[in-house]
């Protein structure tokens, strides 16, 4: 088992002046005290070990404190994208049955209407200010649940991914060693904190090494460029890097203090990798992971960081490429990527049959991604078996967008695909066939979706077609649509 996250927090809190957040010089001792107050406040509200706490709030420092307070109390942390509408959040409330939903003020009425016990984050923080800093943490085991993060396939409802304390701890321990994190590092944190990348990979690497953070509540190229001289590590999604490359302020001098740039959550194009290296002198380190597995592979800290690959398996993590029957394939042959190790989740919340479907004998998790190893053991991701679209590092599931489109008056049928985009990596594109006599404008379709979907799920283009390509069984051929519109966002 990896050392527990809270154990590491307590260890660094004993070091006088060890800084957690650069702004305000918040120390680890300050953080430990704040998590103690929050854990006492939650306990006073009746929450106990094993309960679920749903958090839907804009990014702020308190989100991380609340995450750690939940770990201390043994409450299962359930972060939800603050961009989701009330109707999108309803499934998480019904499925997870949280003992408490903590939200921004504007969401209290909506979530309360769903039947959830709801509290404004600001009010919770106010309650915590009068709570004691000392908290008697209950005993925790490595297999205790730490968090539930919701993800989904291209069909069906979102699934709750059950992550244990050891899933998080073992992965953080491996990454800190691999990426050479120390207490002298300063991480520039501009990622969202409702999913694995920003919440666990970034935060836990800092916690395990005793490093500190420059904490940005949103990504801004100018703000990031201004902070780079004070940081030593930056984690981002490919969109961060393409937007920074578009800024003339990105120079070798601006990046001189950084020792490591890391990219994940979506494929980094070889062109971006090359342009970044030529412009800054740094080779971006690309890694591969997913909600169910935390991080799986990484390009090396020392050695060749190969554009178009996601590197080699992390220490203690096994990765194989198999055929349709689960038989391992030799290097160079493409197949399904499967993974096994302490990083792999326990299963899907309340879905034992679905969990069983996704694992082979020996706890090999079938990722749904396709890939191949080269002769040097580097893994390349060749595509996804599912039709998942990753735009700006965020997952969009076509079936959900298609359902919203098909409900619009005048839409006979729809197909949603992802196509290459120079900024977002992939863009969501909707292909519609209209009912006879119907007339819809692209702007009107996008506007109608805003009440149903988070902004990042709304198609960047809406194409009206005479028909959709189908096979002999009547299934829409999305690969053909992707081929036809692959150049939709090309410059010029």
- pLDDT for 184-201, tens place per residue? 999 999 999 998 999 999
pLDDT at 436: 87
My answer on whether 281 and 418 are in the same domain is no
Q: Around Cβ 179, how many Cβ atoms within 10 Å?
A: 21
Which pLDDT tens digit goes with each residue over 3-62? Answer: 899 999 999 999 999 999 999 999 999 999 999 999 999 999 999 999 999 999 999 999
Q: Which residue range forms the structural domain that includes residue 260?
A: 219-384
Assess whether pLDDT exceeds 80 at residue 74: yes
Q: Is residue 113 part of a domain?
A: yes
Beta-bridge mates of residue 287: 298
End-to-end Cα separation, the chain, in angstroms: 53
Assess whether pLDDT exceeds 90 at residue 300: yes
Q: Is residue 340 part of a domain?
A: yes
Q: What is the dihedral of CA 187, 192, 194, 199, to 10 degrees?
A: -10
Which pLDDT tens digit goes with each residue over 101-130? Answer: 999 999 999 999 999 999 999 999 999 999
My answer on whether 283 and 409 are in the same domain is no
pLDDT at 253: 97
Phi-psi region of 376 (alpha: psi -120 to 50; beta: other; left: phi over 0): alpha
Comparing 266 with 347, which gets the higher pLDDT? 347
Average of pLDDT values for 282-308?
96
pLDDT at 144: 98
Which pLDDT tens digit goes with each residue over 233-273? Answer: 999 998 899 899 999 999 999 999 999 999 998 888 888 89
pLDDT at 156: 55
pLDDT at 470: 80
My answer on whether 365 and 393 are in the same domain is no
pLDDT at 491: 62
As a whole number, the mean pLDDT across the chain is: 93
My answer on whether 162 and 250 are in the same domain is no
Assess whether pLDDT exceeds 90 at residue 383: no
Q: How far apart are CA 214 and CA 188, in angstroms?
A: 5
My answer on whether 257 and 168 are in the same domain is no
Q: Is residue 209 part of a domain?
A: no
Q: Is residue 213 part of a domain?
A: no
Assess whether pLDDT exceeds 50 at residue 325: yes
Domain count, the chain: 3
Assess whether pLDDT exceeds 80 at residue 472: no
Assess whether pLDDT exceeds 50 at residue 171: yes
Q: What are the start-end ranges of the E strands in 52-200?
A: 52-56, 76-79, 100-103, 118-120, 145-151, 159-164, 186-189
My answer on whether 247 and 369 are in the same domain is yes
My answer on whether 404 and 357 are in the same domain is no
pLDDT at 482: 93
pLDDT at 397: 78
Residue 2 — pLDDT band, cuts 50, 70, 90?
Answer: low
My answer on whether 378 and 393 are in the same domain is no
My answer on whether 128 and 162 are in the same domain is yes
- Cβ-in-10-Å burial (0-12, 13-18, 19+) of 182 comes to exposed
pTM attached to this predicted model: 0.85
pLDDT at 152: 57
My answer on whether 402 and 340 are in the same domain is no
Helix (H, G, I), strand (E, B) or coil at 143: coil
448: CATH:
3.30.300.30
What share of the chain has pLDDT > 90, as a percent?
84
Assess whether pLDDT exceeds 50 at residue 411: yes
Q: Is residue 90 part of a domain?
A: yes
pLDDT at 155: 44
Assess whether pLDDT exceeds 80 at residue 475: no
In terms of Cα–Cα distance, which of 223, 194, 234, 151 is closest to 58? 194
Q: Around Cβ 490, how many Cβ atoms within 10 Å?
A: 10
pLDDT at 154: 40
Q: Which residue has the tokens 């043994």?
A: 74
306: CATH:
3.40.50.12780
My answer on whether 110 and 137 are in the same domain is yes
Which pLDDT tens digit goes with each residue over 359-370? Answer: 998 899 999 988
Which pLDDT tens digit goes with each residue over 193-233? Answer: 998 999 999 999 999 999 999 999 999 999 999 999 999 99
H helices within 182-237, ranges in order? Answer: 196, 203-209, 221-227
pLDDT at 351: 95
Q: Which residue has the tokens 């619009």?
A: 408
pLDDT at 174: 97
Q: Is residue 79 part of a domain?
A: yes
Assess whether pLDDT exceeds 50 at residue 465: yes
In terms of Cα–Cα distance, which of 206, 217, 146, 214 is closest to 179? 206
Assess whether pLDDT exceeds 70 at residue 70: yes
pLDDT at 35: 98
pLDDT at 41: 98
Comparing 386 with 443, which gets the higher pLDDT? 443
Q: Is residue 206 part of a domain?
A: no
Q: How far apart are CA 474 and CA 472, in angstroms?
A: 5
Q: How far apart are CA 417 and CA 254, in angstroms?
A: 37
Write down which residue in 174, 189, 204 finishes a domain.
189
My answer on whether 31 and 173 are in the same domain is yes
Write down which residue in 384, 404, 434 finishes a domain.
384
Q: Is residue 208 part of a domain?
A: no
Q: What is the dihedral of CA 187, 291, 194, 142, to 10 degrees?
A: -80
Average of pLDDT values for 298-321?
96
Comparing 22 with 154, which gets the higher pLDDT? 22
């Amino acid at each position: 088992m990896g050392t527990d996250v809270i154990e590491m927090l307590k260890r660094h809190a004993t070091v006088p002046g060890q800084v957690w957040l650069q702004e305000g010089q918040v120390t680890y001792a300050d953080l430990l005290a704040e998590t103690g107050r929050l854990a006492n406040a939650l306990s006073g509200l009746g929450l106990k070990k094993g309960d679920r706490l749903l958090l839907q709030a804009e990014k702020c420092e308190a989100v991380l404190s609340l995450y750690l307070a939940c770990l201390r109390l043994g409450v299962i942390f359930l972060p939800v994208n603050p961009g989701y509408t009330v109707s999108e959040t309803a499934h998480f409330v019904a499925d997870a049955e949280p003992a408490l939903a903590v939200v921004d003020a504007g969401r209290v009425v909506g979530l309360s209407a769903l039947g959830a016990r709801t509290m404004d984050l600001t009010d919770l923080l106010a309650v915590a200010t009068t709570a004691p800093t000392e908290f008697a943490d209950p005993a925790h085991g490595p297999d205790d649940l730490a968090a539930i993060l919701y993800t989904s396939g291209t069909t069906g409802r979102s699934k709750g991914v059950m992550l244990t304390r050891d899933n998080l701890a073992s992965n953080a321990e491996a990454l800190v060693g691999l990426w050479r994190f120390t207490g002298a590092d300063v991480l520039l944190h501009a990622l969202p904190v409702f999913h694995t990348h920003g919440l666990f990979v970034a935060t836990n690497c800092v916690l395990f090494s005793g490093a500190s953070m420059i904490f940005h509540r949103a990504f801004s190229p100018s703000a990031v460029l201004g902070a780079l001289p004070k940081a030593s590590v930056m984690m981002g999604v490919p969109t961060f890097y393409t937007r920074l490359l578009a800024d003339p302020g990105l120079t070798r001098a601006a990046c001189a203090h950084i020792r490591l740039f890391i990219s994940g959550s979506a494929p980094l194009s070889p062109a971006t990798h090359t342009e970044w290296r030529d412009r800054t002198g740094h080779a971006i380190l690309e890694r591969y992971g997913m909600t169910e597995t935390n991080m799986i592979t990484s390009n090396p800290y020392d050695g060749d960081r190969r554009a178009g690959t996601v590197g080699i398996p992390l220490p203690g993590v096994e990765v194989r490429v198999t055929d349709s029957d689960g038989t391992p394939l030799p290097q160079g042959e493409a197949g399904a990527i499967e993974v096994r190790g302490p990083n792999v989740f326990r299963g899907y919340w309340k879905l034992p049959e679905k969990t069983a479907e996704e694992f082979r004998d020996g706890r090999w998790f079938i990722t749904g991604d396709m890939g191949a190893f080269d002769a040097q053991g580097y893994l390349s991701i060749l595509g996804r078996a599912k039709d998942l679209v990753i735009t700006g590092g965020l997952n969009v599931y076509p079936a959900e967008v298609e359902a919203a489109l098909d409900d619009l008056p005048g839409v006979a049928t729809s197909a949603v695909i992802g196509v290459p985009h120079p900024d977002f990596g992939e863009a969501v594109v909707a292909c519609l066939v209209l009912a006879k006599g119907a007339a819809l404008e692209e702007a009107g379709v996008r506007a109608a979706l805003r009440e149903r979907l988070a902004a990042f799920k709304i198609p960047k283009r809406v194409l009206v077609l005479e028909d959709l390509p189908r096979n002999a069984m009547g299934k829409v051929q999305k690969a053909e649509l992707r081929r036809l519109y692959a150049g939709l966002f090309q410059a010029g």
